[in-house]
A and B are shown apart, each in its own frame.
Chain A
Amino acid sequence: MILIKNVRLVDAAGERGPADVLIGEGRVLSLEGGKAQRVVDGTGCFLAPGFLDLHAHLREPGEEVKEDLASGLLAAVRGGYTDVVSMPNTKPPVDTPEAVRALREKAAALGLARLHPAAALTLGQEGRHLAPAGLLQEAGAVLLTDDGRTNEDASLLALGLVQAAPLGLPVAVHAEDASLRRGGVMNDGLLADRLGLPGNPPEAEAARIARDLEVLRYALRRSPARPHLHVQHLSTRRGLELIREAKRQGLPVTAEATPHHLTLTEEAWASLDPLFKVAPPLRSKEDQEALLEGLLDGTLDAIATDHAPHTQAEKEMDLLRAPFGIPSLEVAFPLLYTELHLKRGLPLPRLVELFTDGPRRVLGLTPLRLEVGAEASLVLLSPKERPVDPKAFASKARFSPWAGWVLGGWPVLTLVEGRVVYEALK
């Protein structure tokens, strides 16, 4: 039994408290205190349901030098995540029920954050044959995606949506028209021209989202069950507008945005540092403002990290050869708490919703409420500020575009079903 005393409670429904939260048998037993072996002073802190990340690259199997389940899931609990969806673009890609099972078993044995593997939409993520969605779902896959690759074959995507619909699996897409993107490494525009770097136009995202929404309409018409399209790491104003309009029309589409697109813009490229190289690229200030609006008005359902670890040496290659990706599991919440809530006024319950119920809804999971009887997968967050120190990351990728940024809202205690999986209390 753990008692967290005098703590404010925040979930999607709102802020309340202070309360004395008694935890035992994996559940919240009381909000009015009680006897416990361990008492934690929660004064000044707030307690939220555990976060769910829809989009993490944990690199196992095949690229354990960049990250593995142990380092990745430890990074997750340090970031307040109790649940993580791993992307299937590993080596080899996760496209068999055996691979899904192996990941779940290995993760369960670690006893950190709970792992929910996403599986490949197509065999080998090659975009030619659908992977066995039914078997993958039985094995525990929660989402299908060829993330990392773009879905060039529209009819295969339609079939994938139709096949996944009765299984209740969302199909997530990396929406980028590869032919418009060409070899682009940064946002196409004046800065790319000035730096002489190949640009990835924002229109490449919008064009592909427009296509995918038509594919979704087609799948809807052909499917007895309701397919669900999830658009990953949205980065542009125009892409957001398309999703807003589709949602208004009642299409079953959801979307996520990343911490980096919400806090950084293409201007970062002036430093000519591959640290800022991500796919889709960091966009303009205007695109970023549109994403913030999308968080407020519900066009965006979730904040997903797209945690993408690489080795230091790879990130020290040049701007053309360095791989795309930023590690962010450990900083996502403090970053957005500070930059969006404290500085931009995004209401705290909405921010927490984007880390909890929002992503849970995408997966068809029930909402989490801080009430008696609720599952005690929780995170205690401290407003105390400290700078981001990538050297102290649990992730193997110890670099960060936010190094030195002073942030509050750091997780100090993470519980999975009442069990302490991470603790940084003094």
Chain B
Amino acid sequence: MRHLLDFQGWSRAQVESLLDTARVMREVLERPVKKVPALQGFTVATVFFEPSTRTRISFELAARRMSADVVSFAAATSSLQKGESYKDTLLTLEAMGVDAYVIRADAAGVPHQATRWVKGAIINGGDGRRAHPTQALLDAYTLLEALGGLEGKKVAIVGDILHSRVARSNAELLSLLGAEVVCAGPPSLLPQALPGARLTPSLEEALEEADAVMVLRLQKERMEAGLIHLEDYIARYQVTAKRLKRAKPQAPLLHPGPMNRDVELEGTLADSERSLVNRQVQNGVAVRMAVLYHLLVGREGA
């Protein structure tokens, strides 16, 4: 694979090989000296047209742990409207000798467009509501750690499915790995269909016998746009300890962060031992190391 844009065209074996590499990287991160020379001489750019400090730091750390040089570019969307183009930005970075670009944008498709403009490897760091493949990979990795395997496991994804790139990428990836994915949310926040997932307006149905539960962040904009009423959402869709009883005992809880405590998730649950939120963050670095390694060094390997 030359790029990581989404999981279209990826085989299960390719994903599993990537996750195997992540396991090796995870071990590196547990050593006293958390650094390997794997990407020495390579330059990775994080190009964030939409701000996201957490994701950017995770990628930059991943690159540095493998001894790559890192440059970062952050543009306010306002400067884009003024005509400073994505293409110019990327061509400038290419002229400086960048080998891989991690691109984040508020619009779907920007990483795809980038593959037409520059020669380096493109990693989708989240594009609009469309895809966030490294988030899905770190979620899958975390679930594999917790559950041992994904074949036949039921994963519930709860919240604003319509606007969520995390839901889209997880549905694509987890189903590729053999899991049954059920997405639940209020009817105004459900798409017509999502490849890889079953959709339901019933939180109860999604949680029933679930092996794991992934809770999505509820954006304030959805309330402002009149798509939901906050109290109504909390009353009917908040994941609470009581509701979680429908799921398998000890079914782990995931959340891509940052969390709105007591909105999409009961605050005490976020701190319970069922919560894998911190584990997700740790695994994020390892998974991103694996992605960079595969795209830059192991191009033919996967």
Give residues in A with beta carbon < 8 Å to B: 189-190, 193-197, 271-274, 313, 316-321
Contact = CB atoms under 8 A, between A and B. Distances in A.
Interface stretch (B35-43, B187-195, B259-267, B278-286): B187-195
B270 to A, nearest CB: 26
A194 B130 CA distance: 7
Contact of A273 (B113, B129, B191): B113
B28 interface: no
Nearest to B192: A193
Interface stretch (B59-67, B78-86, B209-217, B288-296): B78-86
Interface in B185-203: 191-195
Contacts of A316: 85-87, 113
B105 interface: yes
Nearest to B85: A313
B123 interface: no
Contacts of B193: 190, 193-194
Contact of B168 (A190, A196, A272, A320): A196
B69 interface: no
Given A196-B128, A197-B129, A317 B192 contact: no
A321 B107 contact: yes
A319 B86 contact: no
Please provide the 9 A-B residue pairs with the shortest distance between their CB atoms, ordered closest to farther: A196-B129, A272-B109, A318-B107, A193-B191, A196-B130, A320-B107, A272-B112, A319-B109, A318-B110
A318 B162 CA distance: 20
A188 B86 CA distance: 26
B245 interface: no
19 contacts: A189-B192, A193-B162, A193-B191, A194-B193, A194-B194, A194-B195, A195-B130, A196-B131, A196-B163, A196-B164, A196-B168, A197-B130, A273-B109, A316-B85, A316-B87, A316-B113, A318-B128, A319-B108, A321-B107
Contact of A321 (B81, B162, B192): B81
B3 interface: no
Contacts of A196: 108, 128-131, 163-165, 168
B204 interface: no
A316 B130 CA distance: 19
Interface string B137-179: 0000000000000000000000000111100100000000000
A195 B194 CA distance: 10
A189 B128 CA distance: 17
Given A193-B192, A196-B168, A272-B112, A320 B85 contact: no
Given A193-B193, A197-B130, A313 B83 contact: yes
Contacts of A320: 106-108, 128
SS class of chain A's interface: helix, strand, loop or mixed? loop
For B109, B110, B131, B168, the residue with the greatest tally of chain A CB atoms inside 10 Å of its CB is: B109
A199 B189 CA distance: 14
Contacts, number: 69
Interface of B: 80-81, 83, 85-87, 105-110, 112-113, 128-131, 162-165, 168, 191-195
Contacts of B85: 313, 316-317
A319 B168 CA distance: 18
A274 B129 CA distance: 16
A166 B85 CA distance: 49
A194 B85 CA distance: 26
A190 B192 contact: yes
Contacts of B129: 196-197
B192 A197 contact: no
Contacts of B162: 193
A186 B20 CA distance: 39
Contacts of B163: 196
Contact of B109 (A194, A313, A318): A318
B86 A318 contact: yes
Nearest to B88: A313
Given A189-B192, A196-B164, 10 more contacts: A194-B194, A194-B195, A197-B128, A316-B85, A318-B105, A318-B109, A318-B128, A319-B128, A320-B106, A321-B81
A310 to B, nearest CB: 12
Given A196-B128, A196-B129, A196-B165, A272 B194 contact: no
Contacts of B112: 271-273
Contacts of B130: 195-197
A273 B109 CA distance: 7
B278 to A, nearest CB: 28
B171 to A, nearest CB: 10
Nearest to A322: B107
Given A193-B193, A196-B130, A272-B113, A317 B108 contact: no
Contact of B194 (A193, A317, A318): A193
Nearest to B116: A273
B272 to A, nearest CB: 31
A401 to B, nearest CB: 14
B80 A197 contact: no
A400 to B, nearest CB: 15
Given A193-B194, A196-B163, A321 B80 contact: yes
Contacts of A194: 168, 191, 193-195
A319 B129 CA distance: 12
A100 B116 CA distance: 42
A271 B108 CA distance: 11
A266 B112 CA distance: 17
Contacts of A273: 109, 112-113
Given A196-B108, A196-B165, A318 B192 contact: no
A319 B131 CA distance: 14
Given A197-B128, A273-B113, A319 B107 contact: yes
B289 to A, nearest CB: 27
Contacts of A313: 83, 85, 87
Contacts of A317: 80, 85-86
